[in-house]
Amino acid sequence: MPPKANAFSRAFSPRARARLLEIYAKLSRRFGERHWWPGDNPFEVAVGAVLTQNAAWRNVEKAIANLKARGLVTPEAIAEAPLGELLEALRPSGYYNVKARRLLSLCAFFLKNGEGGLYPSVLGWPLAKLRPALLEVPGVGPETADCVVLYAARQPSFVVDAYTKRILSRHGLANGEESYEETRAWFELNLPRQTQLYNEFHALFVAAGHYYCSPRKPKCELCPLGDDPRRAPDLI
């Protein structure tokens, strides 16, 4: 039986590359430089990547502010903090029991592997070692791992999120059934392997994503197209 069909070729395609660069150029003109991901340092970026799981960024910002106010800004501080204090700080980002556990396991990973306790050395691991290692951390799935690799370690791993999938399928570039890895591979096969390009591209998808109604939210104030989910804003 042949593999299930999906919209993405597993090989480089000049047409796909041209289309992707066209999309990038259009979004770039429309939204400008995004200066993404927000965070004072790589560790804060990694923390944000865990906290934003299935949460609105607005609420993540509150939790990060709480962590800062309590001095919980390093893996050591979080690992040693009283659990109740950590839970209280994370509360606004939702799923706080789960996220505390995930944050602690990520901190343990940094503390175990950072030379001399210095977590930035882990972020200097080659991509081929860093990404699989992150995926082994309980609570770190593909999207969270790629956010840490791309935005904290500044290495080229393309982040596929809900906005990316929504925009691709809304414009007929995907059928919505592709796996995370298939989607990531499609971008990486067809784009120049450049950290800054991956960074901006994902950030532009996030910016544009707010203009697309979600499947179960057929009307939204930013989308100019009313309630027809088959249509999409003329952004890409």
Task: Give the other-Cβ count within 10 Å of 201's Cβ.
Answer: 22
Q: In this chain, which of 54, 113, 121, 175 binds DNA, going by CB under 7 A?
A: 54
Span of 14-22, 24-32, 96-104, 108-116 interacting with DNA by CB under 7 A: 96-104
Distance in Å, CB of 230 to DNA, minimum: 16
| Closer to DNA by Cβ: residue 143 or 200 | 143
Distance in Å, CB of 149 to DNA, minimum: 11
| Closer to DNA by Cβ: residue 189 or 207 | 207
Distance in Å, CB of 74 to DNA, minimum: 21
Is the CB of residue 148 less than 8 Å from the CB of residue 49?
A: yes
**Interatomic CA distance for residues 45 and 197, integer angstroms:** 18
**Interatomic CA distance for residues 153 and 57, integer angstroms:** 21
Q: In the window 174-233, what residues touch DNA (CB under 7 A)?
A: 180, 206, 209, 214, 216-217, 221
Helices (H), the chain: 14-31, 42-51, 57-69, 75-80, 83-90, 96-113, 120-123, 127-135, 142-147, 162-170, 180-190, 195-209
**Residue 37: is the preceding peptide bond cis (ω within 30°)?**
yes
Q: In the window 127-146, what residues touch DNA (CB under 7 A)?
A: 137-145
Task: Give the other-Cβ count within 10 Å of 4's Cβ.
Answer: 8
Distance in Å, CB of 199 to DNA, minimum: 11
**Interatomic CA distance for residues 66 and 216, integer angstroms:** 32
29 part of the interface to DNA, by CB under 7 A: no
Is the CB of residue 78 less than 8 Å from the CB of residue 109?
A: no
- Interface pattern 33-52 for DNA (x via CB under 7 A): ---xx-----------x--x
First to last CA, the chain: 35
Q: In this chain, which of 57, 76, 79, 171 binds DNA, going by CB under 7 A?
A: 57
Q: In this chain, which of 42, 92, 156, 229 binds DNA, going by CB under 7 A?
A: 92
Q: In this chain, which of 62, 70, 154, 231 binds DNA, going by CB under 7 A?
A: 62
Using alpha carbons, select from 219, 211, 221 the residue that is nearest to residue 26.
211
Span of 58-66, 112-120, 121-129, 189-197 interacting with DNA by CB under 7 A: 58-66
Residues that bind DNA (CB under 7 A): 36-37, 49, 52-59, 62, 91-92, 94-99, 137-145, 147, 159, 161-163, 180, 206, 209, 214, 216-217, 221
